């Protein structure tokens, strides 16, 4: 369950360290031919998301900061579940660690 945010805009959220703020893609509610899908078929989260913001990176053992591997606007592949949900209005966002992101989707 997502925690309801007390801020008005997601732009107020600035991820720390190696955290990445993403918005998952929503599953289609109907098919291309116009058939509406039941909620049981669309309640699984899609593994794709858009990166909204990233933190500066986390320090390694030597103290040097390793930057995150994605940037705002990138499309990424996520694990099926996980992340820390944040709800702003009707939108739901997630915070993941950079190491939890499976892949960057390049088109």
Q: How confident is the model at residue 89 (pLDDT cuts 50, 70, 90)?
A: confident
Instruction: Please give the pLDDT value at position 29.
Output: 64
Instruction: Please give the pLDDT value at position 2.
Output: 52
Of how many residues is the chain composed? 107
Q: Model's pTM, two decimal places?
A: 0.76
Instruction: Please give the pLDDT value at position 47.
Output: 80
Instruction: Please give the pLDDT value at position 60.
Output: 87
């Amino acid at each position: 369950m997502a925690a309801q945010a007390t801020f008005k805009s997601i732009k107020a959220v600035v991820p720390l360290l190696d955290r990445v703020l993403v918005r998952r893609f929503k599953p289609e509610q109907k098919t291309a031919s116009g058939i509406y899908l039941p909620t049981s078929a669309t309640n699984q989260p899609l593994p794709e998301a858009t990166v909204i913001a990233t933190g500066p990176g986390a320090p390694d053992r030597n103290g040097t900061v390793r930057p995150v591997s994605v940037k705002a606007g990138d499309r990424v592949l996520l694990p099926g579940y996980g992340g820390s949900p944040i709800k702003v209005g009707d939108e739901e966002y997630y915070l993941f660690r950079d190491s939890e992101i499976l892949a960057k989707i390049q088109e």
